């Protein structure tokens, strides 16, 4: 239920601004150095997915709450995640 509400809030906010909704950041995933540890998917399964048979994750959503992106950037041992709104 929380996710549905969060998505509705994100959609609403997206309509009001051209950039990331307040409290959300654009997620950039560059899996070039990915070791396949799976930490990102365990940490944020709403944002990062993994197809069976793949060696690397993919983005389910390119928007994530601030705190979630911060955790992804902190916990990925290979530095595959970046804040797209930081540049």
Number of residues that bind ligand SF4 (CB under 6 A): 13
Residues 58, 50 contacting (CB under 8 angstroms): yes
Give whichever of 13 and 60 is closer to ligand SF4, judged by the CB atom: 60
- 45 near ligand SF4, rule: CB under 6 A: no
* E strand residue ranges, the chain: 24-29, 48-49, 58-59, 63-65, 81-83
Contacting residue, 44, 64, 69, 76, with ligand SF4 by CB under 6 A? 76
Phi, psi of 27 (to 5 degrees): -100, 130
Which CB atom, from 21 or from 84, has the smaller least distance to ligand SF4? 84
CB atoms within 10 A of CB 2: 6
Tell whether the torsion through CA atoms of 30, 34, 38 and 39 is positive or negative.
negative
- Candidates 10, 68, 80, 82; binder of ligand SF4 (CB under 6 A) is 80
For residue 37, state whether it binds ligand SF4 (rule: CB under 6 A).
yes
Report the interface residues with ligand SF4, using CB under 6 A.
31, 34-40, 57, 76-78, 80
């Amino acid at each position: 239920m929380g996710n549905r509400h969060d998505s509705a809030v994100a959609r609403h906010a997206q309509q009001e601004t051209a950039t990331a909704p307040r409290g959300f950041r654009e997620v950039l995933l560059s899996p070039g150095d990915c070791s396949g540890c799976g930490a990102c998917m365990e940490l944020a399964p709403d944002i990062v997915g993994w197809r069976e048979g793949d060696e690397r994750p993919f983005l389910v959503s390119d928007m994530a709450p601030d705190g979630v992106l911060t955790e992804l950037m902190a916990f990925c041992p290979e530095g595959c995640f970046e804040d797209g709104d930081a540049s």
